[in-house]
C-alpha cells in the first residue's frame, strides 16, 4: 500500500492548513485532542507532549553526509536536519565561529550533513 503524501491528504479533506502551532497538552497525543494531529503535523521539539508520543518526529540516523537522498526521513519530509534530534548525520557538528560580531559557518570547518542549509545561513 502506498503512503499518501501530507498534501494529498489535505487536498482530499479540502483543507490546506500549513500553519504550525505546537501542542500544549501533556501526555500522549491522539487525533481527538491534539492540534498537531488534527492539522496532520508531525510533532516537533517545541510541542509539550511526552517524549514517547507516537506522532513525534525523531529526526534521522543517516551516515555522515548522506542526508541529500530520499532515504533520509528529514529530506523525504522536506525538513532540514535538526541539530537537536539528528545526532548521527553531522548536523550536530555545525561549526559556528564568531567573527566581527557575525556567525561565520562556511569557513570554520567542513559540515558533513548536506541538509542544513538554512541553519548554516546558506541558500539551496
Which tens digits make up the pLDDT trace of 96-110? Answer: 443 444 554 444 555
* Burial (0-12, 13-18, 19+ Cβ within 10 Å), 113: buried
Percent of the chain scoring above 70 in pLDDT: 57
82-96 burial, b at 16+ Cβ within 10 Å, e below that, comes to: bbebbeebbbbebee
> Does residue 31 have a pLDDT over 80?
no
- pTM for the whole structure: 0.59
Amino acid at each position: 500500500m502506498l503512503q499518501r503524501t501530507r498534501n494529498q491528504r489535505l487536498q482530499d479533506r479540502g483543507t490546506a492548513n500549513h500553519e504550525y502551532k505546537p501542542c500544549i497538552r501533556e501526555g500522549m497525543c491522539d487525533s481527538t485532542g491534539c492540534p498537531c494531529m488534527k492539522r496532520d503535523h508531525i510533532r516537533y521539539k517545541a510541542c509539550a507532549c511526552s517524549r514517547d508520543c507516537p506522532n513525534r518526529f525523531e529526526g534521522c540516523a543517516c551516515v555522515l553526509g548522506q542526508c541529500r537522498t530520499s532515504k533520509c526521513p528529514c529530506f523525504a519530509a522536506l525538513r532540514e536536519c535538526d541539530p537537536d534530534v539528528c545526532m548521527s548525520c553531522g548536523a550536530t557538528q555545525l561549526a559556528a565561529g564568531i567573527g566581527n560580531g557575525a556567525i561565520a559557518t562556511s569557513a570554520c570547518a567542513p559540515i558533513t550533513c548536506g541538509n542544513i542549509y538554512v541553519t548554516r545561513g546558506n541558500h539551496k
